Chain A
């Protein structure tokens, strides 16, 4: 028995399932799955791939070779990898193939209200959803069994709650690892191709043709039938007033708030156990569906012709980002006490670490009124209203191509640059850069190279000097790649040398040609860079103009003093980077 969070439990499940290959791309809240797998189960080959699509393709290859493999990502990543998954859906599977995908439910700051179950519907593949860590471990093993038994990739869906909740897990202490091997099919084509061959040659007995036959429709139908008897779906018949169909952690909210209710806990959420659903529907007066994310179970159940109450009672995004026990109590428990939170407590916008190189870039662009696009890097914070440094932000890797589009449309009349992290650059940004050159684009790209994927806690990227499979001779060099792509102007600068940073950016922008400025400094936080003496604000000189606060550094605060306010620097947080001194006209900020 061990306390584990969902991520640890999934990693343990992979181990007990005899997984051989794990490939993924970091994404909160499930990054840890790969980290635990790598740390604790050295028998399993692990890699951070360059992006999610690559990760899924690696896992498909390993599965075709006959070995159990999984790909890890958050749901926004599955959007990127969808094409690869689509190809695997409905095709022959040798070693079990599982995608561990996490929905970031309830995050208000993440621009992300995705639901990976859509891909289950779209591609007709099974989706499993654990409710706690024990489930997470067990379902991971079951996912591989289902994948092999029904010849299909399987999605194991976790959420920010299951990933980050610790509970007791019973593990097989005596388990000895063995890489599971199963090689059934000599060929695996994507569904569409296979269907074509099958339609033309279904009655053929020629071995060259029969080896393509894969009745994926029957496979998933068989799983749907079997799911009625599967212990993955638990029907708990209780009182007849309220019935609830639920999955994931909301199951436990329901058990706590509505102990009398009859509940169908779905572990296999796709395909649905029709008989169990009908049995519950007949048993109760009112049937509710309580699911985090989109109204997918609700729609699928209604498609079976069973009436359930869902989002009419529990309106979804943007009204609610996730279920809590409180939400259920408010709606379904008569006379539930009302509790009002303290009014007007200020909310928190994410803010950059003190001394972060992104702040230097943001400040320079702001000062010279150069507009910029960014992607999902720590630099994203530069878009928030307390900084207002960048004007366009979209998905991972997007900024180079967006700046290219803007500049083309604008005929390069306005200064508009791309800001991208090293992570985003390698993920898909590099495609944007190749595209820019080959289509004769003339814009500037600023690559903030902090030697890791900082936003998710500092995982390795191809240009890092560490990593699961790191070898110095295999380290990729951003400058060399940019040269090879054909960028005319490439300079590398240290952001803390403010003047050279400014000169480099202005030169690049003014040249009106394609150019790359590489801003190089390891992530202050990930690499625990040494600090300089903290700065302080001379209160006699400070006019409280707040300019320094708009720099966006975590260490600068406006504090209530005796009857008035002061702008102060938190000496425990300040790294002594001196960026704030460059904006203070009063020269009040001193080392």
Chain B
């Protein structure tokens, strides 16, 4: 029998405009409904303008103390941009899991030659990290039903929920309440795609 989940520490990362807030709001409602204590801390720079965004998401069956997760205590890094994924790899527990998009928004310093980019492929560095890594390439999953460049957050939510073995109805109910009416259908399609990719990955493993 699986021992009950006492809580997890999750870092959600990406760049401004990727819907990190929506992702963490949905997840927060989900865990609230399950009766967990929560603390969610958003570190938003000038997010609107291509800055990094990180959210420290903690749920627990005991009161959560620090709003920031200490390096080494992270169970999941869920990241929508792979440069940002790299920033948090060292924070993972030994058995921590990485769920990352391979999307990349080149930083302005690299664009203009102020800084050198890493010489190796970032996806490869992430895969070599020794952690359990799931990397999703959004360009491989383009769909006529929704714009994956905007809804990668919900795709990854589906992936995460499937990976954790959660009841999808509970999650999709919250999605329906959280997004504007005209976007519900696209979001549900995106969610479903996430669960399917997750299934494929888990079988292949």
A350 touches B (CB below 8 Å): yes
A352 touches B (CB below 8 Å): yes
Expressed in whole angstroms, the Cα–Cα distance for A495 and B104 within the complex equals 30
Check A346–B115 contact: CB distance below 8 A: yes
Chain B residues near A367: list those with CB within 8 A. Answer: none
Contacting B109 at CB < 8 Å: which of A5, A253, A349?
Answer: A349
Contact digits for A326-358, partner B, Cβ 8 Å, 1 yes 0 no = 100100000001011110111111111100000
Chain A residues near B91: list those with CB within 8 A. Answer: 339
B202 touches A (CB below 8 Å): no
Interface-located stretch among B65-73, B154-162, B169-177, B185-193: B65-73
Q: Which secondary structure dominates where chain A touches chain B?
A: loop
**Chain A residue at minimal CB-CB distance from B119:** A344
B112 touches A (CB below 8 Å): yes
Chain A residues near B90: list those with CB within 8 A. Answer: 339-342
Whole-angstrom distance from the CB of B171 to the nearest CB of chain A? Answer: 17
A154 touches B (CB below 8 Å): no
Expressed in whole angstroms, the Cα–Cα distance for A455 and B115 within the complex equals 26
Chain B residues near A342: list those with CB within 8 A. Answer: 86-87, 89-90, 125
Expressed in whole angstroms, the Cα–Cα distance for A344 and B51 within the complex equals 17
Contact digits for A370-406, partner B, Cβ 8 Å, 1 yes 0 no = 0000000010010011100000000000000000000
Check B107–A347 contact: CB distance below 8 A: yes
B137 touches A (CB below 8 Å): no
Interface centre among B65, B90, B114 (most CB of A within 10 A): B65
A199 touches B (CB below 8 Å): no
Check A345–B111 contact: CB distance below 8 A: no
Contacting A560 at CB < 8 Å: which of B15, B66, B117?
Answer: B117
Whole-angstrom distance from the CB of B161 to the nearest CB of chain A? Answer: 20
List which B66-98 residues lie within 8 A (CB) of chain A. Answer: 66-72, 83, 86-87, 89-91
Chain A residues near B46: list those with CB within 8 A. Answer: 109, 350, 455
Interface size on A, residues (CB 8 A): 58
Whole-angstrom distance from the CB of A193 to the nearest CB of chain B? Answer: 44
Interface centre among A255, A337, A350, A525 (most CB of B within 10 A): A350
**Chain B residue at minimal CB-CB distance from A343:** B118
Interface size on B, residues (CB 8 A): 53
A325 touches B (CB below 8 Å): yes
Check B106–A109 contact: CB distance below 8 A: no
Check A386–B109 contact: CB distance below 8 A: yes
Interface-located stretch among A72-80, A165-173, A424-432, A479-487: A165-173
Whole-angstrom distance from the CB of B86 to the nearest CB of chain A? Answer: 5
A161-B67, A337-B72, A386-B109 are known contacts. Are A346 and B83 too (CB-CB below 8 A)? yes
Expressed in whole angstroms, the Cα–Cα distance for A165 and B54 within the complex equals 12
Check A351–B70 contact: CB distance below 8 A: no
Chain A residues near B83: list those with CB within 8 A. Answer: 345-346
B131 touches A (CB below 8 Å): no
Chain A residues near B44: list those with CB within 8 A. Answer: 164
Chain A residues near B150: list those with CB within 8 A. Answer: 572
A233 touches B (CB below 8 Å): no
Check B113–A546 contact: CB distance below 8 A: yes
Expressed in whole angstroms, the Cα–Cα distance for A345 and B125 within the complex equals 11
A41 touches B (CB below 8 Å): no
**Chain A residue at minimal CB-CB distance from B64:** A167
Whole-angstrom distance from the CB of A259 to the nearest CB of chain B? Answer: 9
List which B23-65 residues lie within 8 A (CB) of chain A. Answer: 28, 32, 37-46, 48-52, 64-65
Check B110–A558 contact: CB distance below 8 A: yes
**Chain A residue at minimal CB-CB distance from B113:** A546
Interface-located stretch among A14-22, A82-90, A178-186, A549-557: A549-557
Expressed in whole angstroms, the Cα–Cα distance for A496 and B109 within the complex equals 26
A476 touches B (CB below 8 Å): no
Contacting B50 at CB < 8 Å: which of A249, A324, A351?
Answer: A351
Chain B residues near A325: list those with CB within 8 A. Answer: 66, 68-70
Q: 21 A-B pairs, CB-CB below 8 angstroms?
A: A3-B40, A132-B67, A164-B44, A165-B39, A167-B40, A168-B38, A339-B72, A341-B89, A344-B118, A345-B86, A346-B115, A346-B117, A348-B15, A352-B49, A353-B49, A378-B49, A384-B108, A386-B112, A455-B46, A558-B111, A572-B147
Which 7 residue pairs are nearest across A and B when measured between Cβ atoms?
A: A350-B46, A386-B112, A165-B41, A325-B70, A256-B65, A165-B67, A256-B66
6 extra A-B contacts, CB within 8 A, seeds A351-B108, A546-B113: A164-B44, A165-B67, A253-B65, A324-B68, A342-B125, A349-B114
Binding site for A on B (CB under 8 A): 15, 28, 32, 37-46, 48-52, 64-72, 83, 86-87, 89-91, 104-118, 121, 125, 147, 149-150
